[in-house]
Structure 1
Amino acid sequence: MTVRHLFAGTILTTLLSAAVAAQPTIYPAPTDETPEFWQQSGATALQQALATQPNTNQARNVILFVGDGMGISTITAARIFVGQMQGSSGEENLLSFEHFPHVALSKTYNTNQQTSDSAGTMTAMMSGIKTRAGVIGVNQYATRADCASAQGTEVPSLMQQAAGRGMATGFVTTTRVTHATPAATFAHSPERDWESDADLSDEARRNGCVDIAAQLLAFDYGHGINVAMGGGIEAFVPSTETEPVSGRAGARQDGRNLTREWQEKYDNSAFIWHRDQLNSLDLENTRHLLGLFSRSQMSYAFDRPVGESGQPTLPEMTSAAIQLLQNQSGDNGFFLMVEAGRIDHAHHAGNAFRALHDTEELARAVDVAQSLTQDQDTLIIVTADHSHTLTIGGYATRGNPILGTVIANNDHGHAHDTPRLAQDQMPFTTLGYRDGMGYSEAAGGDRRYAQPVAAGRHNLSEVDTTHPDFHQEALVPLESEGHAGEDVAIFAQGPWAHLFHGVHEQHYIYYVMRHALGW
């Protein structure tokens, strides 16, 4: 499979786009779900489990997928969402990584916060230590946003160590490449927001802290970073020049154009900013690839349809990255981190539709990784940095549209003809958020909130809650929906994947990756 032939998701994308035109109906439970079906499926699952043997090969490659904000409720809702868009009742569906043989739970707290952020959690996964919220690649003795306090607290990341051992390395993301999750693979900073030199505080400048974008260019382990793809070009271009994506001035104040410096630093390197350039790239002979496809974050997957955007899909970037890394890895293998970062942003906006759509795109990227690698020598891990406050409830009948209002069953277990009403005599949705700005119909296709915080209950009787721009109701009024503190899932296959076996501290993921690589 090549990046030019990654259109397997086009049919599903078309279905998803068409399905929002009207309120979907309730799908019946599959007719083959007889008592005998359940008995046979249970026995089959048991036999498969009994036949599962630990893979104790030394891993040649490691691919870490991070669904930013992809809590278990998000996975469950996305599973149903995708199944329903494919014409089934949905609950019986599985996403690609849910077929992995080994599953565990990860405890996501930071050293100073019960409910975590992405910077501290990704540092835990990449560097093997828990640390504070808001800091990247430094230990808990660094004070956030205090450059002087961070000196001497830096901790190496697995990607830095992999490059130092001669492995090919890289990451792809749908966020800015300088955002917290990708930054934790290569940077060290007491403040996650120091993405460009324009973001540095006066104290940081005085004490010599370097912005995250510049640290990407300063990566000096092994042969350097082979792949870095995502958004955020404004942090790489000076304010005296225009960047090619939007034609607007860059953000840097130091006069440096880091995209040119990338090409000057590496032989056989490429800098690209459009999907067509990625599709035509010579992946065999390109050794170092920098792809920056948007000024800031890349678009949500639903707003980035294949063939209609200058931005590639996450599966396309994953395919290109793996092929390039395979070509450059020689006998040493590769490490790749893939982030579906905008799951998190859609949740912060209280927009479950886009969060589920981006989760589906992550599942397709995992499919691509599986098709391009071998289970015998490649450890693939799919996890999240933290969860969100998305909830699933209301006693909806089987097959009820996951984005719809709840239709419950009657006393005989059959679906009612009308939505269930709460005690305030108004219908409610299956999905909701604990906190955030709350309800918005976002009329006219405006995906931003058009009014102040609208938490609490609203009459949804005449509202299409399955529309892409609908924002679910929230209980607690906040300026943005927040992270949740419960455990997240770890799915794994390949060498030593069986070491994920229970409830783990999040930094344990780093030690499994190291062990699988034979370090």
Structure 2
Amino acid sequence: MLIRFLYALTLTGLLVCSALARDKAHPRSSSSTRLGSASHLTNEAERNASYWIEKAQNTLSNKILQASQLSSERVAKNIIFFLGDGMSVHTITAARNLMGDSANQVSFEKFPYLGLSKTYCVDRQVADSACTATAYLGGVKANYGTIGVNAKVKRYDCTTGQNPDNFVESIAKWVQDAGKDAGLVTTARVTHASPAGMYAHTANRNWENDATIIENGCSAKDNVDIARQLVEWDVGKNLKVVMGGGRRHFINTTVNDEEGLAGHRTDGRNLIQDWLKEKQTNNKQAAYVWSKKGLSLVDLDKTEYLLGLFANSHCPYNGDLERTNYKLVKPSLTEMTEAAIKVLRKNNNGYFLFVEGARIDMAHHETWARISLEDTVEFSRAIELARNMTSEEDTLIVVTSDHSHTMTINGYPYRDQPITGLSNKLADDGLPFTILSYANGPGYYTAYNDKTGRSEITDDQTKDVNFEYPATVPLSSETHGGDDVGVFASGPFAQYFSGNYEQSNIPAMMARALNIGPFANI
């Protein structure tokens, strides 16, 4: 009891000193006009030091128990790899508040092991989703804008990009070679940079169809586009599940998809029909679906191959699904994840599933912070569902991001203030400011006025889901950040993911957990 008392007394003293030092360092903060009334804690127990000490003791007990179980750990049978595209640590923190309070946890924060990965490309300090896909799926760092090739290949290089000597194979191939099944789910186009890392090799992430290759002055015959690689090349055509958006890259410009939107191909091909024909020729039970209803009608217990293309381009933002009738037509990330697991788990040897919450990133590029956080919360729901559908005894779940963004959380808002609103104090210019802001992006035009300087932002503006959060530098699209990103792990060999390491180490650790590929039996 004496030790607990001394610990609590020391902690209290440190907090008081810290608060005094902060007020001294920032005297303006104590005199600025407050916005709104004082905040009240919803959990009165937090006022007692014993609350925090007991919480720490419970955490420590859990970690001791987890450590004691490591000696009997078995090889993983399955891996589900969740990628929150652009999901920075700030994004995760803000998502907690959107869920109700800063003390909340998104589902994967409850995982026992946490690490950090370094996200840079070979030629860039700040990465894109292409070079990072090669790293976290293939184990090799590459150049910006390239997928599934080593750093000898520069972006747009028509020749070296199609040299098989420069190809980097992904964990999907290692899984398939080991007799396991592989699949992918994304809210982006299935030919977009992150999912393409599972099966494609290309010098340019934008070569999703033949027309884009020709536009860059290359031969669409010599440089096979990403959609064709998915349908024709070994790793892609052997994926048991492919779900997301991107119908436009599978059909010709002269053909409309099921929703009346034209394709982007110029070679006359219908790759959806080609995919179905190849499966039928090989007597495989295959289904192609384009709507939520169609997905619900598929007998997943009997389906061997499932192709779901639910949008002409990217799938809708999850918040838009909830706010509109889209939810009656388009499946959510959670619903797609559930269907994928049901198809893949039929293989007694196990499986590898890649799941991408892609639109977290896309909303950040628009400085739509609220929409990005909504997609983060849905991403968390998909992970929780996956954990409930699987066993920690045989399934390793890894959650991470490819890169960060420039969004930050600032000011000193009260605990019960909405993270998407205004800070509780005015700035030195007498104007309010938002709790969330960006270093650059289209939100610059929200923040600044050519005539008067900084613009006044109202609370009502921040309640608009399409509100562009303020940015310091004007750019049509906000950029990625170069921060390290979190890696969360649960299941067999999850302890491997602790510490700080290269992003390219991730597939090596996953392969070791499965005991497959070049990292088996190490």
| Offset, 1:436 | 0.5
2: distance between equivalents of 1:139 and 1:314?
31
Instruction: Provide the secondary structure at the position in 2 that maps to 1:289.
Output: strand
Compared CA separation, residues 141 and 172, structure 1 to 2 (3 A): same
2: distance between equivalents of 1:454 and 1:211?
48
Aligned to 1:113: 124
> Are 1:294 and 2:307 an aligned pair?
no
1: distance between equivalents of 2:450 and 2:513?
48
Aligned to 1:58: 75
Report if the CA contact (8 A) 1:347-1:481 is conserved.
yes
Report if the CA contact (8 A) 2:182-2:239 is conserved.
yes
| Offset, 1:254 | 1.0
Compared CA separation, residues 462 and 168, structure 1 to 2 (3 A): closer
| Offset, 1:306 | 8.6
> Are 1:131 and 2:142 an aligned pair?
yes
Q: Give the alignment partner of residue 513 of structure 1, picking from 510, 514, 519.
A: 510
> Which amino acid letter does the alignment assign opposite residue 248 of structure 1?
L
Q: Give the alignment partner of residue 193 of structure 2, picking from 180, 194, 203.
A: 180
> Are 1:470 and 2:489 an aligned pair?
no
Q: Give the alignment partner of residue 326 of structure 1, picking from 339, 342, 345.
A: 345
| Offset, 1:462 | 5.6
Mean CA deviation greater in 432-441 or 231-240: 432-441
Q: Deviation per CA, 1:164-218: give whole Å up to 9, x if none.
A: 2221110000000000000000100000000011111364317701000000001
| Offset, 1:490 | 0.1
2: distance between equivalents of 1:167 and 1:453?
59
> Which amino acid letter does the alignment assign opposite residue 471 of structure 1?
E
1: distance between equivalents of 2:248 and 2:509?
36
Aligned to 1:503: 500
Considering only CA atoms, is the larger Rg found in Structure 1 or Structure 2? 2
Instruction: Provide the secondary structure at the position in 2 that maps to 1:429.
Output: coil
Instruction: Provide the secondary structure at the position in 2 that maps to 1:115.
Output: coil
Aligned to 1:347: 364
| Structure 1 segment 28-427 matched on structure 2, within 5 A | 28-33=41-46, 34-53=48-67, 54=70, 56-82=73-99, 84=100, 90-150=101-161, 151=163, 152-201=165-214, 203-205=217-219, 208-221=222-235, 224-244=238-258, 246-266=259-279, 267-305=284-322, 308-309=325-326, 310-327=329-346, 329=347, 331-407=348-424, 420-427=425-432
Instruction: Provide the secondary structure at the position in 2 that maps to 1:147.
Output: coil
| Offset, 1:400 | 1.8
Compared CA separation, residues 344 and 138, structure 1 to 2 (3 A): same
Q: Deviation per CA, 1:326-358: give whole Å up to 9, x if none.
A: 12x1x2100100000000000000010000000
2: distance between equivalents of 1:155 and 1:279?
36
Aligned to 1:87: none
Report if the CA contact (8 A) 1:164-1:222 is conserved.
no
RMSD: 2.3
| Offset, 1:221 | 4.2
Q: Deviation per CA, 1:252-309: give whole Å up to 9, x if none.
A: 1111111111111112111100001111210011111110011101110001129932
| Offset, 1:47 | 1.3
Q: Deviation per CA, 1:468-503: give whole Å up to 9, x if none.
A: 111110001111111000100000011111011211
2: distance between equivalents of 1:425 and 1:109?
39
Q: Gaps spanning 5+ residues in structure 2: where?
A: 1-35, 517-522
Report if the CA contact (8 A) 2:146-2:205 is conserved.
yes
Report if the CA contact (8 A) 1:67-1:359 is conserved.
yes
Compared CA separation, residues 397 and 454, structure 1 to 2 (3 A): farther
| Offset, 1:91 | 1.0
> Which amino acid letter does the alignment assign opposite residue 436 of structure 2?
L
> Which amino acid letter does the alignment assign opposite residue 164 of structure 1?
D
Q: Deviation per CA, 1:31-78: give whole Å up to 9, x if none.
A: 122222112111111111111122631111011000000000000000
Report if the CA contact (8 A) 1:141-1:149 is conserved.
yes
> Are 1:489 and 2:486 an aligned pair?
yes
2: distance between equivalents of 1:235 and 1:498?
40
Report if the CA contact (8 A) 1:165-1:222 is conserved.
no
Instruction: Provide the secondary structure at the position in 2 that maps to 1:271.
Output: strand
Which has a greater percent of helix? 2
> Which amino acid letter does the alignment assign opposite residue 506 of structure 1?
Q
> Given the two structures, how large is their TM-score scaled by the length of structure 2?
0.86
2: distance between equivalents of 1:140 and 1:456?
45
Compared CA separation, residues 341 and 453, structure 1 to 2 (3 A): farther
Q: Gaps spanning 5+ residues in structure 1: where?
A: 1-22, 85-89, 408-419, 442-448
Q: Deviation per CA, 1:108-153: give whole Å up to 9, x if none.
A: 0000000000000111011111111100000000010112022131
Mean CA deviation greater in 370-379 or 199-208: 199-208
Mean CA deviation greater in 161-170 or 335-344: 161-170
Q: Deviation per CA, 1:308-337: give whole Å up to 9, x if none.
A: 32110000000000000012x1x2100100
Report if the CA contact (8 A) 2:230-2:237 is conserved.
no
> Given the two structures, how large is their TM-score scaled by the length of structure 1?
0.86
Compared CA separation, residues 118 and 79, structure 1 to 2 (3 A): same
Report if the CA contact (8 A) 1:63-1:338 is conserved.
yes
Report if the CA contact (8 A) 1:24-1:401 is conserved.
no
> Which amino acid letter does the alignment assign opposite residue 285 of structure 1?
K
| Offset, 1:454 | 12
